[in-house]
Copies of this chain bind each other. A is one copy, B any other.
Amino acid sequence: MGKMVTIYDIAREAGVSPATVSRMLTGNAKVSEEKRKRITELIRAYDYKPNALAKGLRETKSRVIGMILVDFVNPFYATLLSSCEKEARKRGYSLIVTSTLGDRELEDAYLDTMCQQRVATIVMVGGRSDELAPDEGYVGHVKRIAESVPVVTNGYLGGAEGCRVRLDEEKAAELAVEYLRDLGHREIAFIGGKGEIRSTVEKRLKYAQLLMQNGLPTRKEWIVDGPGYDDKSGYEAMRKLLALPCRPTAVIAVNDFTAAGAAHAIWEEGLGIPEDFSLVSFDDTYVSNLCRPRLTSVSYDLEEFASRLIGSAVDIAHGRKIEQNQVVEPKLVVRDSCKQYGGG
């Protein structure tokens, strides 16, 4: 691999000092039109590429954001990643990414790796920061890291996070429940997810609260814990519901995958959506469009989420003032998986 050209090469060739070349590049000081022209030309001619490592070393921080996601494959996170990357680019940043798949040790290791890379900011979405009760050791670790590199997250890190951007899970649950209630449903179940994940618990709690407030029947068996967030979980959860003596008429699924799984269980029983069950999911990934009937789903504006996440990350890195607590609101996207109860 050939030696890379440096500002010294350019400077020598142009008969100026490296500083002048640097000044032109950064735009931090005036450079005479004549030299400017000569330098610009040389840069093109030599195809000069500034060394981000040197710049980063000099400024004790790189224009790179470290992103720790729980999973790249899940379309919710995949889309978020895509938006974040676009957003980062727009602001002149690159993304170093990592997926933990729920592995706690990995999460710790990655925190360190990104710290070593001297990323400008660490953005964490999902994973342990999203757990209801992240363990002490972990929070301590993040706190230590956060002393040298700011952390932006959607979860809660005991105050270690420099900035938090949450999704309004309660509002999301509200949209789902109220939509079904307005359609005349009274027997509404909630399936999927895990009891230790904050986002899930927040939804379930709000769901239960709303049922009560609306005088709708609440039953323990109508909240089916996971075992997880995939279609298999949804399938199994729905089968439990189907086995119940008193079945609900509507089902809220913790995400599109569990909804898809639930749909399969319903069809297997020879029943239909929305004829026999109305189905609402969260996340509104492309999966909700891929199912038939297409799923009515609570949607988060992932572009906005990404924009706030990355925007805050960049602002913090530049020492700008930011909103410490931000919330992204959901909205309901009505498709074909629900119908008026009793009505038609």
Contact = CB atoms under 8 A, between A and B. Distances in A.
Interface of A: 1-2, 4, 47, 49-54, 56-57, 60, 62, 64, 71-73, 75, 78-79, 81-82, 85-86, 89, 94-99, 106, 112-113, 115-118, 144, 147-150, 231, 257, 260, 264, 267, 286-287, 289-292
Nearest to A292: B264
A96 B64 contact: yes
B64 A72 contact: no
A27 B265 CA distance: 57
B85 A79 contact: no
A199 to B, nearest CB: 21
B53 A57 contact: yes
A174 to B, nearest CB: 28
11 contacts: A49-B115, A51-B57, A51-B116, A52-B117, A53-B62, A64-B96, A72-B85, A73-B75, A73-B79, A89-B106, A96-B96
Contacts of A264: 292
B292 A290 contact: no
Nearest to A290: B260
Given A1-B147, A60-B4, A290-B260, A112 B267 contact: no
B85 A98 contact: yes
Contact of A53 (B4, B53, B106): B53
Given A64-B96, A97-B97, A117 B73 contact: no
Given A49-B148, A86-B99, 20 more contacts: A1-B147, A1-B148, A1-B150, A2-B148, A4-B60, A4-B148, A51-B116, A53-B53, A53-B62, A71-B82, A72-B81, A72-B82, A73-B78, A73-B82, A73-B286, A82-B99, A89-B106, A95-B96, A231-B289, A287-B290
B85 A53 contact: no
A57 B54 contact: yes
Contacts of A257: 290
Contacts of A86: 99
